[in-house]
Structure 1
């Protein structure tokens, strides 16, 4: 009987294939991790979209909110203007404080509200985050979906600290999608379709305040053309 002694340097096909298999598996795993990391959204909307009984439209550089039943309002209904910026901390505080009262007053026809959003917190950077948020909100407002607008605006203000310098068009689109926005609204946000309109929208509202004694700042509230003092119960003081 004879036997063959292999050289220590002689290559083994079995070993080579084993190495190739390990490399391929590692590449697949790494690729999966990378793709999963890229596709995973920062947005995890786990709340409920709150139903509303109001109408919403964009008019005169404002998001106008009125009672769904127009018969509830008349010439004596207070006309309220709210100036805000989505990156303004005090605007976020106000949105939390007056959320329920403001919604109730609008739905009851006790006030018509014009929300005049600005982007001055970007300090002149027209590609800043506040501009991108306003463009996203503008896309939502263009749809005329009052329920989506109300919930979207409220979420962005209430979660301002989590969103600040973290979210871009992708995340803003993801939030709208998770809130039930139509495909066209979601794609308009993701593509930044209303960037130019939003830029002019914010500038026009800033110009309105620039002509006042206190200049551009937020939040500021005007009732029938007269500015009021801010307080957590301002809605109850103003509604009829």
Structure 2
């Protein structure tokens, strides 16, 4: 497993500043200009264009490093769709977690909801996880059933709206972020953002209401330590 942080060769800002800006943007509903203002308040001069470049070039690398440090995904996949506005048009985005607290294994923005689109997503998911799940849970969209029979016929498929609340709930932060951003300008931009957002934001989301205050603080301290390792800021 390659766990080395990304290269910062040629960057004139410290690793800690770069990683902090990327964390602010993907963790909270902030614009690039708002991140610029927050960093300026700490005495660091960084333009919003630079923050944009850092997020575009390093966001997916950070998310991938965090995913590689996650426990092995469970054998149950909950997959669902969320509709997002991209360049003024509604597009379908597939994704979903394997456990209630896990980050989404993948996100795929597509213009269709047919069998070919579902088949593409299933094959992409298998390639990324390198393992067949025991159970796949989806909503009642028929194209999921057809794609399942083609790609993974030996895997149990459960199709019911009520069973897939886990996937639906995992999309809520994405919906809130889309509203804050007032949609996306392009399919490629949406795909790049979601690939990073689905790996970084859930890393800091814990089930706070089920934890004691000391337990929550200890858990968050560990998550920040993992972030430092993934970005290289811990050894800077």
Superposed pair shares fold, TM > 0.5: no
Computing the radius of gyration from Cα coordinates, the structure with the larger value is 1
TM-score (norm 1): 0.29
TM-score (norm 2): 0.29
